Amino acid sequence: MTTGSSAVAEAPGKPLYRILVPLPYILLGVATTLALLTPGQTTRERLGTAALVGLTAAWALSMYTLRSDAWTDRTGPMLVYVGVQTALAGVLMARQPIFFVFAAIGFVQAYEILPPVWAFISVFVTSLLVNVVPSGVPNNVSWAVFTLVVIALQTFLIGWFGLLGYRYTEQSHQRMRLVTELQAAMAENAGLHAQLVAQAREAGVHDERQRLAREIHDTIAQGLTGIITQVQAADRSREHPRCGSTTWTR
């Protein structure tokens, strides 16, 4: 099953590619810096956070940045990548809430590497983690209702605009394919036109040669016929000469 969207893989020279590829590492770096600078931590806690950050960065590098085109066009590997990255972001947020900065990458990547249905689910899960893990599960009804409303609104807005962006990207790719097909058809037509012109030129040359051949044939044939006629007449004259003597009378 294909993802239906591979903008990063297909457009390495576009601004979107230059933004999306380093974005996970930028957000992870910002969150890590703020987390390590938070006072009240032991060296062991900081080392544990750094190890988790290194694992997360390695996962993003291998499964996202360096992913092959074959993986990009398949939903399964991309779901594995998103699922593991979301879990790692949740663990990091449980250690240091500031890692919600990195977890927000799920909002950005969802519609870029997943089909619409899975992308919407990914946005919902990301919103749930970002709103629940840092502050904990709501302990009263009003706070729980407020959290659910925020999650629902966030999922709807991000999911809706993500879907619009996905459809726009699909339409852009379709237009690009149509332009490519049109250019190929025009090139083919140009080749056929050149071939027809060459054939017409060759046919014209052939006709002209035949015309010249007929003219030469007719001219030479008439000339030879005249010569033969004259030669035959000369031969007959030699064979039957006219008498040139006259009769004398007395």
Q: pLDDT of 35-64, one tens digit each?
A: 999 998 999 999 999 999 999 999 999 998
Residues 6+ apart with CB under 8 A from 32: 49, 50, 53
State how far the Cα of 52 lies from the Cα of 121, in Å rounded to an integer.
Answer: 25
Query: Tokens representing 2?
Result: 């294909």
Contact criterion met (CB below 8 Å) for 2 and 75: yes
pTM of this prediction? 0.63
Residues near 168 by Cβ (< 8 Å), separated by ≥ 6? none
- Whether the per-residue pLDDT at 244 is higher than 80: the answer is no
Quote the tokens at residue 175. 């237009």
| Measured distance CA(111)–CA(103) in Å, rounded | 15
d(CA 91, CA 238): 130
